[in-house]
Structure formats: C-alpha cells, structure tokens
Structure 1
Amino acid sequence: MHYNMVEELCTLHTNLSDEDVQRINEIVVTLPLIADLNKANVFVDCPTKEGKHAIVVAEAAPTTTKSVYKKPVVGKLVYEAFEPSVFFTLRTGKPMFLNRALTQEGKTVDQSVVPIKASNNRIIGTLIMEKDISEQVRYQQKMEALSEATETLSEILIGMTEGRSIIPEVIEEALFFIDHEGKVLYCNPAATNLTQEIGEGNFKPGDLLVQYFPIIKKILSDPEELLVREVNILNKVFQIKKITLGQQEKSNGTFVIFKNITELREKERELIVKSVVIREIHHRVKNNLQTVASLLRLQIRKGLPEESKVHFVESLNRIASIASVYEIILSNSSVDDVDIYRLIEKIGNMLVFEAEHENKKVSISYSGPPHLLIKSNKAVSVALVINELIQNCVKHAFKSMNEGKISVLFAQNGNEIEVQVIDNGEGYSPKSKDSLGLEIVGMMIEHDLSGHFSIEPAETGTIALVRFPIDREVVEE
C-alpha cells in the first residue's frame, strides 16, 4: 500500500487536514486484511474540494478470490450518478449495505459503505466493499444473461426489433446511442430537438455526434466506460453522461445523455449570493451589538452610581450573549446554524470570568451532546435564557460564599431539548421569582420557545430546568 500516494491524492484533490489524512492512513493499513476476510474489493473514497465528486485514494484486491476489477482505480473520480450510496454516506454519516452500484469498469456490484470519521465526528471519507453480484457456479449464467440484456437493449434502441420502446421516447434528457465510430444509431425526440436547437448543422441519423457537438470530442475519446462532465453550450449548462455498453473487450455501443442543468446552476448561484448576504447581515448585527457593548463598558469605566452599575452589567451581559450567537454562526461553514454546546460554553465562561473580578471563585462545567444545532432565531432566545440562569447563579447563589460550582446539563429527550442549570449555593428563595432576569426567562420560554420553565431547591443549591420542543428548525447532525 503506497501511503505517500494517499497523502499526495488527498493534498491535491481534497480539503482534508494532515490529521484527517493520518486517520485515513490508519484505515488504509487494514485494507488488505479486510479484502481477504470478506473476499471483496475494498476502497477508501474521499470528497473532492468542490464537493461534487469523490476520489479513490486507496484500494485493496482480495487474494482469496477473483478481483472485480482488472485495472487499478486509485486516483479515479467517483460520480454520484453511478455510486449514490457513497455520496449518501458522505452527506449523512449513515452506513449503506448491499446496494447496487456501477463500478469504474461498468460492472454491476453489491456495494456496502461505512463512514470514516475524524476525532470531532466529522465525515472525512468512506470505506467501501464491493462484491460481484454473480457467485461461483452461477457466474457464467448471470454474465450471459447480462450480455443478452445488453444486446437486446441495443437492438431496441437502434430499431432492430419490431416493437419500439416508449421509455427513451418520454424521458426529458436527450439520449443518443452511438457505435464505436461515434455515429448516431438512435436518438430520442428530446435529442433530436436538442440537435436542432443548439447543434451545428441539420441532424441526420448516421452522422458523427461530434459533428453537431464538437465540445464532447474529449469526452467520447476518454477511455473511461463511465463518465460525467459538465459543459457550457451557447450559454447553457449541460451535464453529459457517457455509458459504454459491453462485456470484456466487446463493445455494444455507447449512450451519451445530455441533461440541461442551467436552471439548477442558476439557483445554486442565487443560493450562494443569498448565503453571502445573510452572512454579511450576521456580521453587521454582531458588530453593532459589540459596539453597543463597548459603549456600555465605557460608561461603566467612566463611573456610575453603585445602584445603577449592576443594571448596566446585566444589560451588557445580555447583549454579549446575543452577540455570541452571531460569532458562532460566522465561525461555522453553515449560514444559520448554532451549536448549542458552544453557545452555552461561551456564555457560561464569560459570566464566570466576570464573577472572578468580584473575588469569587466560581467553577462551571458543561455536559451534553456535541453538534446539536439550532437555528439562529431560536438561538438568540436560548442565549438570553442561559445568560439569565447562569447570571442568577453567579449573582445570588454564592452571596455569602467565596467559591461555588455551577453545572449546565443539556440533552435531547424525544421531541424536546432539555437544559438544566444547577448550583451548589445557598438555595432558592421564592422571592427571586420577581426578579427581572427570571421574568425574561419566563417570557422567552413561553412566547419564543413554546416551552416549560421551572426553578426549585435541590438538596444543595438550586436546579433550574428548561424544556422546549424540537421542531423543523432544530436538527441533530
């Protein structure tokens, strides 16, 4: 196994870090054993930089049975159209078992895919196992059946049978079937219309396809049996698929399929522009909040009546908590998602740091699942609630104590997110219910989060409990 090649391919074609590549190499070491044990070809695929495709960075063929592949496939691109299971696993992190796929050499295999994860649970690649669907004694029979089906399909498409298949006639994609010389043997109505619309010249069956679409000459001359490319023709974007039919050294012809994806790409560009605008809005909101916070800090430093200072500090913390939401958004690749763990940790650390300036030694701990995401509009309400609850602990729980401990626990329970803020302070007093902070918590929970809030004494200290439902705006990675 050439580990240098793995590193070279990852560096050239992916956005993986050195740590990610090291993790990939740890998997690559085991590939020969996995291949022999399962009597299957195994591969490691990693997502490419642009995210549209994947690339094979390592492979191992079994020595305990015949390999599915004749040629090495390391360094070749993987297309979603032919291996959807790989891309499903890359996007979701969920394994897929015994799904049908087309190999790089055009064979049909049973494919199983499991994700390869980095230390932070991020998906960095997939481990793939492929077995030929034909087994032992039935191998020759199934290959003959596959060959007969391929020849029959070719005959239907080029009009050699008495009947005429309606399937290619009604599909929206422009479908051409060409021989080994590139001559058009068959084309469906969509293909005829496409040739008349943007092709160069008046189309006649038997002509060379490149005569009408010179831009695909390189695609047709490529030795790969399966190929997907995007090309621009007369200000339109087309996805072109090339599928060569055949078995072993015999070719029965090639499908060339044109799919107009101009509208799709325009929508993608619009989404990118909208995403940039949204991020710019988030950036400006964060800057404005930080400006307001800076003005409050300046006013506090200039001097305030002692009875007013505490209200300024509380307002400052509330503004800083809301700003934390937008700081987290801007540090993520997502446009509008906030990691609850990071949000709670950021707010808690800020408030405990403030307490240290008042000569109180307060420690805080956090417990909850990482990567539990919530949309920014809900995150602002959650930030204010968490700020008030932790600030309430810092302000009231340890009045006659020099040190204390706060624990913040959160979890997803069924259809709800539950957050607990627990302190080991002096205990809860019912009079505290009249404080502005708890009024803010009650209002946010009831009106913005449609949830439930309770606060009560514990064996030592106080427990504040917040529950709010998970709806379409809350997802877990």
Structure 2
Amino acid sequence: MISATRLLCQKYTDLTDAEIAHIESYNQLIPALANAERADVFVDCRTSSGRSAIVVCEAKPQTVPSNYHSTILGMLIQWRDEPAVDRSFRLGVPTVGVRAVSMPEDRRIVQSVEPIFWEERLIGVLIYERPAVAVEALVSPEEQETEENDLDWAAVSRYVDDAVLFLDEKDLVCGFNPAAEALYRGMGYTGALMGMPASNIQPSTLEECDGERHESSMVNRVLQYRTVPVPSGKAKTALIIHDMTGQRKLEQELAFQRTALRELRHRTKNNLQMIANLTRSRSYEADDPAAVQTALLDTANRLLSLTATLDGIVQVSLEKVSLLQVLEQIRKYTLQTLMTPAKSISIRVCGEDAQVSADCATSVALVVNELVQNALKYAFPTGTVGTIGIELHSGRPICKITVWDNGVGFQKEKTRPGGMGLELAATIVREKLTGEWSVESGPTGTRVSFDFLEQ
C-alpha cells in the first residue's frame, strides 16, 4: 500500500523515488523522537513551485500534550509563517529556537529545524515544535557586566545602531550589544545569545575576516553581515549586522510602482479582449431593441465585474486581492444594474476567503458574473421569487466556487439562448484558470461549480 508520505511527495514535490523512500523512512523514526524530545515532530518538503513547503510526515508526543488538535499532514506551509523552516531550506543549516505560529490553531510555538540531505541534495527538513514559554533574558546584567570587563569593545558597541556580536576562538558568542539583542528577539529567537554557535546566527560560518558585506534574506528580515578581526581581548571576531529590511522593502515598492503601469496596460488589454469575446457571443441577441438593451446591460455588468478587482476594498497587499470581497462587489453591482422591481430575487455570497492575484480574480469575476447573469435571465420566469447563491471554498491550494439557484433548471443537452456565454465561461475556467467545470441542473434548480489553483 502506498503511504501518504509518498503520495504527497509525488503530487507536490519534484523528489525522485530514492529521495521519497528516504523521506518515508522518517515515519519509523519520528514517533520516538517526538516522545524523547517532548515535542511535535514533522518532516516538510519543498513544493515543486518553490513558493511553499508541505508537511509529509508527522508525529505527536505521547509524553506531553500536542500543539495540534488534528492532523496537519498534507498542509501547505507559507515561508512567512515559519522563518526557521525558511532559513534552513535557504541555507542548508540547522536553525535552533525560533518563534513561529502553529497552523491552523494559531498557537505560539518555538521551532528547531534540521536539514535532511540525500546524496548532498537538500530534500527536506526535520522540525521540532514546542509550546512557547516565557523567554529568559539573553544574559543577566551581572554576566554582561563581567563579560564587558574582559572586552575592549563594550563602551563603544552600546552606541552603535547596527547589531554587533563578538565570537571567541570556538566561534561562540562571547558578547553583544543591545541592538543585537533587539534584532534577534525581533527575528523570533528565544535562546540565550551568550554562548550561541555562530552557525545559528549567520548564514554560514565565515572562515576568514574579509571585511566584505554579505547579504542574506529570511522571511521577515534582509540582513547584511560583515566580519572584522578583533585585535585584542577575549573575542577573536566581531560580527556586524545591518538590518536592510526597511531599505529593501522601499526598493521593492519603488520597483512595483515602476512596473504597475505596464502591468495595468497588459491586464486592461486582456480584459477588454475577454469582454469583446463575451459580447460577440451574444451578438445574436441584437435582433430587436429590447435585446439590444439587454446586451448593453450585460456588457455594463461585465465591465463592472472587472472593476471589482481594482476596488481598494478588495486589495490586501501589493500583489493579492480578497476573492470573497470581489464576489461581494459583483453581487452589489448585479443588484444595481440588472435587478428590476419586477424581480424578487436575492443574491447571497458566503464562504472562506482566499487571497489571489489580480489576474486570477479577474478571470473568476468574469465567470461568476456570467453565471449570475444566466441565472437571472433563465432560472426565474417573470414574477418568480428565488435565490442565487455564490459559495467560495478555499482548500489551499485549490479553490472551488459554486453558483447555484433554486429556479426552473434546464436540459444541458439542449442548446438555448445564452448557452454560448455559458460555454465561453467554461472556456475561461479551463484555459485561464486551468480548472475543472461541472454543471448540475433539474426542476429544483441549477448548480455550476469550478475549481482553480489559488495563485
């Protein structure tokens, strides 16, 4: 029988059969580790896209309560949520004692991470997670004062804005300034800095003091490292760390602004082409004035569905929009443009939100708008009371949307006015969203569902 670990690795990663077999072997090891370490133990592997990791092995301790009420096997992990995992994957080194948040319980935990190699290739990480407890001081004032008496740098380093850590002959921290303490607390480290190995606080041990700056990125920090020799005293090397996070963030925002106009032009062109295709598919309705009016209203509502992805209320970051808010905007625009006093139809939006790219949201908005328009036109004869529902199911990474009504239904095998628009919406799902499409219809109503990758 194929294990869940192998199925997950085959579906979500680019690991070879031999590498997957090595990962599978951890299923026999980690239950004992969980009990011995009194911690939840997991193995994460990087997904094929490289934008996340996935939990492929798990073990809960029997000696202490677990941090999790249910299994998280198969859960996709975002780098921003687990900086220790991100660091070990990026650098291929162990990371000890970093704060994180357990998903989906949203509990504060402390992680330690060990890289897993197969024939010199990093294929996964072994993770220990314990509940976060009150963090002890990095070093007592008495210890700090004692160390300062042995080192010449103390009087100066206190007034340096950059983090300064001093390493002894064994590459262990033998002193640091307040900026270093603040930096590492902000990065989530919980252990004492004094005595910490250099390998746990910098990207890699620098064998010589070259004086050059070396930059490294983690989930929540961009740091610039520089080592310089210390000519006398207890310390052998001074590690100077400059936090570049704010500067790099500003540079990213400026780069985003420079490309925004190009992206907007490209997106507008694509959207107008889709609108032209949708309008062309309904051109047969222009046989009489009433049909012309209906076609114009339909086109207006499609344009409004596109503007829903540009509304400030739906924007959650520079690159992502709230899909649930986009659907709510479509509901509002539909009620404003297509509803008349003669129609007693309500439209409901519900579900778990998902954050997607604007391009993805645009395609989803066009499809949903088309489905709602079809329901308004054909599901309810004049004067009929009814309901249209729009449901969003976020499965991470697969989202699913269902548009349903409790109208009269239709026979799928028979063409009818509007069928071409429905077909074009299905084409958008298959070609733009790379999703699957299904239609169920009968005397009690119609349900149209489609899924797509949350991107």
TM-score, structure 1 length as denominator? 0.46
Query: Greater relative contact order (Cα 8 A, min sep 6): structure 1 or 2?
Result: 2
TM-score, structure 2 length as denominator? 0.48
